[in-house]
Amino acid sequence: MAITGIKGFNDILPGEVEKWQRIEATARRVFEIYGFSEIRVPIMEKTELFSRSIGDATDIVEKEMYSFTDKGENRVTLRPEGTAGVMRSFIEQKLHVLDPVTKLYYMGPMFRYERPQKGRYRQFHQIGAEVVGVTNPRIDAQVLIMLCHFFQELGLTEPTLQINSLGCPECRPLYRAALKEYLEQRREELCDDCRRRMETNPLRALDCKVPGCGVATKDAPSVLDHLCQGCDDHFAAVRRHLDVTKTPYSVNHRMVRGLDYYTRTTFELVTGLLGSQSAVAAGGRYDGLIEELGGPKLPGIGFAMGVERVALLLSGEGFARVPDLFIAAHGEAAGDEAFRLMTLLQGEGFRVELDYEGKSLKSQMRRADKLGARFTLIIGEDELATGQGMLKAMADGSQVALPLAASPLAAALSCS
């Protein structure tokens, strides 16, 4: 019996992969405009890195990590997200010494043992960006503007931006206490998970998908009413910069994040088009994380998008690479000539296809059609004898006679 892949781990096949390449290329292009450089870090780290940064009481660390003991008795984990590894590297490589402001982006696979469904997989891919070293709220706005710029470049009107502030170690405990008190009064209406979370992580109750919990927390106190002056001013400044730059957003005071490292600004880009997997990208500020991981006291902010989810939003669009030219040949000598011309044109950067197996002309033309070639050229005995062929534009059927040589063909292919 053939061996199948692992549940929740997907193949990305030709036809689909072109969409991914476009997403990746757009991210690189846009992020580099804003001064970000790529960083590549390992996909496996010490387990402790993730439990310390993401937080022991989160779903990710409690139940979703691919962790194991390697042959040297080390506890290691396939990364469930990118920020922790990038910050580990930032600290270890002392990147702040090179520049007080560090802007990094990354892309690659992440692993979470979640229940797979549309838009949610066990191996999924993120493209993320992180800025270290800036406290000023202008950077929060800039990161959001860059993310919106990226989606605009892809021609997407979905997703839309939602922002919130989760406060800081000074004001969040007060909010937690107020929320806990509110939840205590509704203990009976909450699901078992939320009753347990009330002790460890009460904010998660706001995010619970169980309908009863949604009703019970409807009038829960808002984090935004509990911000200290510093956090309140910071959030107001972020909103002001978004307003001034005409960046559309809405404030969602119920937004909580599934990772514990966040402080102040948090955000999600959400869509109604992907069922329950509504977050296409998400992130926020993490001013205490670098110090928590043993690094210098430096603030950070960033986000990651789920590439599978972005690709689903682009799903109506075809990105398959079509050949510029299909050369159909009749006979062995014509096949050799077709091969020679193809090689010359490929050397000049044109996508050229032909038939390798000596099939009938009719079947070659069917394949040209199927591939969506922009032009076709038929080479048979006559063409070989005269050194001339007819280049046919498939869009309108128009034909032009050309010498069988690379430069006139290249000129004809590139001027349309």
| Residues contributing to the site for ligand HAM (CB under 6 A) | 81-83, 112, 114, 120-121, 124, 126, 128, 130, 258-259, 279-284, 302-306, 308-309
Q: Which is nearer to ligand HAM, 113 or 319 (CB)?
A: 113
- Burial of residue 392, with CB atoms counted within 10 A of its CB: 0-12 exposed, 13-18 middle, 19 or more buried: buried
Q: What does 18-49 look like in DSSP terms, one character per residue?
A: HHHHHHHHHHHHHHHHTT-EE----SEEEHHH
For the chain, the 3-state helix, strand and coil shares in percent, each to the nearest 5, are 40, 20, 35
Least distance in Å: CB of 258 to ligand HAM? 5
Q: Which is nearer to ligand HAM, 303 or 326 (CB)?
A: 303
Least distance in Å: CB of 281 to ligand HAM? 5
- Whole-angstrom distance, CA of residue 59 vs CA of residue 269: 21
Cα separations (Å) of 76 from 48, 53, 384?
Answer: 8, 15, 64
Least distance in Å: CB of 284 to ligand HAM? 6
Helices (H), 323-415: 332-347, 361-371, 381-386, 406-414
- Burial of residue 172, with CB atoms counted within 10 A of its CB: 0-12 exposed, 13-18 middle, 19 or more buried: buried
Q: Which is nearer to ligand HAM, 271 or 376 (CB)?
A: 271
Q: Which is nearer to ligand HAM, 249 or 350 (CB)?
A: 249
* Beta-sheet pairing, 325-329 with 352-354: parallel
Least distance in Å: CB of 336 to ligand HAM? 49
Q: Which two tokens stand for residue 331?
A: 């006979």
Least distance in Å: CB of 267 to ligand HAM? 9
- Whole-angstrom distance, CA of residue 156 vs CA of residue 353: 32
Q: Which is nearer to ligand HAM, 265 or 376 (CB)?
A: 265
ω before 173 within 30° of 0 (cis)?
no
Least distance in Å: CB of 114 to ligand HAM? 5
Phi, psi (5° rounding) for residue 46? -65, 135
Please choose, from the candidates 325, 328, 379, the residue with its C-alpha nearest in 3D space to the C-alpha of residue 352: 325
Please choose, from the candidates 327, 324, 150, 325, the residue with its C-alpha nearest in 3D space to the C-alpha of residue 247: 150
Least distance in Å: CB of 129 to ligand HAM? 8
Closest residue to bound ligand HAM by CB: 306
Alpha carbon 193 to its chain's center: 30
Q: Which is nearer to ligand HAM, 198 or 289 (CB)?
A: 289
Q: Which is nearer to ligand HAM, 220 or 279 (CB)?
A: 279
Least distance in Å: CB of 122 to ligand HAM? 7
Q: Which is nearer to ligand HAM, 143 or 378 (CB)?
A: 143
Q: Which is nearer to ligand HAM, 152 or 363 (CB)?
A: 152
Q: What are the start-end ranges of the E strands in 133-258?
A: 160-165, 250-251
- Whole-angstrom distance, CA of residue 82 vs CA of residue 281: 13
Least distance in Å: CB of 22 to ligand HAM? 17
Q: Which is nearer to ligand HAM, 66 or 182 (CB)?
A: 66
What count of other Cβ atoms lies within 10 Å of the Cβ of residue 27?
Answer: 25
- Whole-angstrom distance, CA of residue 132 vs CA of residue 104: 9
Alpha carbon 90 to its chain's center: 21
Least distance in Å: CB of 148 to ligand HAM? 15
Q: Which is nearer to ligand HAM, 20 or 121 (CB)?
A: 121
Least distance in Å: CB of 411 to ligand HAM? 45
